[in-house]
Structure 1
Amino acid sequence: MEALSEVKLGPCRDSPYLRPLRIHYTQNGTRKHWDFMQTHDSVSILIFNTTRQSFVLVKQFRPAVYMCECARRGIMPTVDTASKDCSPQSLVAGELLPASAGVTYELCAGIVDKSDLSLQEIAKEEVLEECGYNVSVGNLQKITSYRPRWLQQEGTEAYRRGTNRHTPTVCAGEPSAADYWAAGGECRGHRRS
């Protein structure tokens, strides 16, 4: 997971995960528009391993975190998003940051993109895929759904930039060592911590 090479940045023409949109409207007689990003709702799972008496976190490389760190350090190439034939721009090999600049420790989580599954069923799939625990749906309890405060506050960067107000849901589960199924977790690029 830590080896990183041939990093290129290009425009995102179509994505199943996010969609840039523009709303046109009239406010107090003035015609305006605002750009925003439509994303999926998500489910995060707070996992407590009852055998080890410890919480389980997922360690994974997040490309967006990596690129934000590149931008912060001034080494992100400029990409012409308006051009139809814009090819991805490479980061100069000597300027590449180590992959650890994009590694996060976080709750097991996933997007809510399957309308035929309940939140607990999606949580079950994510726990198996990311952490390798085969937890029953009945052993996953919904704690809450909420609107992240940082997305709601006027004046915050996310509010100004137009990130849509998605709804995360948090569930909790208590697997034991007996629930661990080796084919999940690390084989998908995730590491349990």
Structure 2
Amino acid sequence: MENVSDLRVSELASSRYVRPYRLHFERDGHSLSWDYILSHDSLAVLLLNTSRDVFIFVKQFRPAVLMHLVHQHIANDGSSSSTASTVASGLTDQTAGDGPAETPAGNGVQQARAPAGQLHFPQSPVDPARACCYELCAGLIDKSGKSLPEIAREEVLEECGYDVPLSRVHRVTSYQSNVGVGGSRQVLFFAEVTDEMKTGKGGGLESEGELIEVIEVPRDHVMEFIMDESKPKATSVLFAVSLFLSSPGFFRGD
């Protein structure tokens, strides 16, 4: 999973998943702009195996997390090429501190783009293991003709190997994610599974480049897990687990 090399950054000409834009608008008499990314909504599933009282999470390499770390490394290490350092420092300078992000020049996202072929590392300057994140089982809402519970059930089977009955997939709530540059919605589901429902190893779809590790965390140790900063986690993990522990009735429809 962590054998990552030959890193090349290029301009994003087109994508199946994201589209960058710049919004120009007026607010209180001021002309402002804001860079944002249009992307699919998604769903996530908090899984609890009641046979052994363990939460089920997934762990996978996230290229965007790696490149954020690489850009930080470049900005803080003067040994890299001047072009790469300029690209990285543009992001760092524009996003540092707590000042207002809205300016006539945008919010700094554009300055982080690297011209094609000008940022290349045969080997990653940052350990790729640092970009392997602990997450909820999740997926994009991009399958027409299927309900959200049906998509959630498919993701659980593909990523974690549990064939959970549709009747046991419960919607909990929804929220906006990455509100600074994205704003897409994520719908949270919950499902209790058992060892008897385990019909496969999970791991995701190789055809989509997924290489997912299934992680089990005992309920008694889950707070230690989510507070351990050495294990990078998606925000949804902290939110879902904390909400479950404080208000379990929301997850079971009580």
Q: Indicate the TM-score class for this superposition, using the shorter chain for normalisation.
A: 0.7 to 0.9
- Match for residue 131 of structure 2 among 85, 91, 102: 102
Checking the alignment, whether the CA contact within 8 Å between 2:9 and 2:114 is kept in structure 1 is: no
Structure 2 unmatched ranges of 5 or more:
89-111, 216-254
Q: Which has the higher helix share?
A: 2
Q: 2: distance between equivalents of 1:82 and 1:190?
A: 29
State the shift of 1:32 in Å.
4.6
Q: 1:81 to 1:100 in 2, by over 3 A?
A: closer
Larger displacement relative to structure 2 (170-179 or 110-119): 110-119
User: Contact 1:42 / 1:109 at 8 angstroms: preserved in 2?
Assistant: yes
* 16-25 or 51-60, larger mean C-alpha shift: 16-25
- Give the structure-2-normalised TM-score: 0.62
Is 2:164 the partner of 1:135?
Answer: yes
Q: What percentage of aligned pairs have identical amino acids? A: 34
Q: Specify the SS of the correspondent of 2:139.
A: strand
3-state SS of the aligned residue for 1:74? helix
Compute the TM-score of the two structures, normalised by the length of structure 1. 0.80
* Pairs within 5 Å for 1:29-178: 32-74=32-74, 77=84, 78=87, 86-87=116-117, 89-93=119-123, 96-148=125-177, 151=179, 158=180, 163-178=181-196
Aligned to 1:155: none
Q: Who is 1:189 aligned against?
A: 211
Provide the rounded CA distance (Å) in 2 between the counterparts of 1:73 and 1:89: 13
Q: Give the drift of 1:132.
A: 1.2
- Cα separation, 1, equivalents of 2:201 and 2:44: 21
The number of equivalent residue pairs is 179
Asked if structure 2 preserves the Cα contact closer than 8 Å seen for 1:9 and 1:91, the reply is no
**Ranges in structure 1 where 5+ consecutive residues have no aligned partner:** 152-157
Structure 1 residues 182, 88: CA separation in 2 closer, same or farther (over 3 Å shift)?
farther
Amino acid at match of 1:15: S
Give the CA RMSD over aligned residues: 2.6
Alignment partner of 1:11: what SS? coil
